[in-house]
Structure 1
């Protein structure tokens, strides 16, 4: 008995093919979610090149620019520069760039968070104690 019905495979393949980075989703979160989809349907049948192409096209323009910068040029053009006959070493390099960019973004976000947490409040307000100038008691002097 097959525990993974064809309809489930079709649904997961569609989710992978139609993957889109969410508006409020970071590059790192999108990459993790995409990898989770691929792992959920390990028999999806998509080549690594197809997977990278789908993920790249799903990203917002700012994250595409970051990937292009990390890749040293347009990532899609580099992936397709061999007329679709990219070698496995080319794909491995591009996969590494995506993973490296994820690491860079995560490291930067962690550093920013630590800096934010270490920053003291802009101004510390001291409690004003009302002290009598005549007797020094804890009441205002009128």
Structure 2
């Protein structure tokens, strides 16, 4: 008869093999490939925390700008982005990425899509679209201030779906008459 007793230490031991990578990073075959410390610092200097007031689109734009400065022969830029992106997150954003099912992110586009959907939900898009359509120049604002504010709204929701002619009409209708 087999002895099915286990020691307390064995029962309390942490399970093994549950820490798979959340991202699938294509194999890099380039010789002497390494991510430079300076690039890693640039990525970590502007981290995204997942707060309501943070703009995930702006984070992706900044991240793309930083990672586009590094070109390595035989290494796809998307692979570098997949490797570096977790270093650009902190707090709730890092927890979100760590909770993604293993191997659920296979490409840079997958990661961007999941990131934007998490931190820029449809309700936020709806609210910003409503702000754009209801835009009004405030009486204390000069024309260029109103124009800047309107463009900030458009940049804040790059997937607003409005045509440029609609934006022009919305803005001109919102101007105060003198």
Larger RCO: 1 or 2 (CA < 8 Å, sep 6+): 2
- TM-score, normalized by length of structure 2? 0.36
| Larger fraction in helix | 1
Higher Cα radius of gyration: 1
- TM-score, normalized by length of structure 1? 0.43
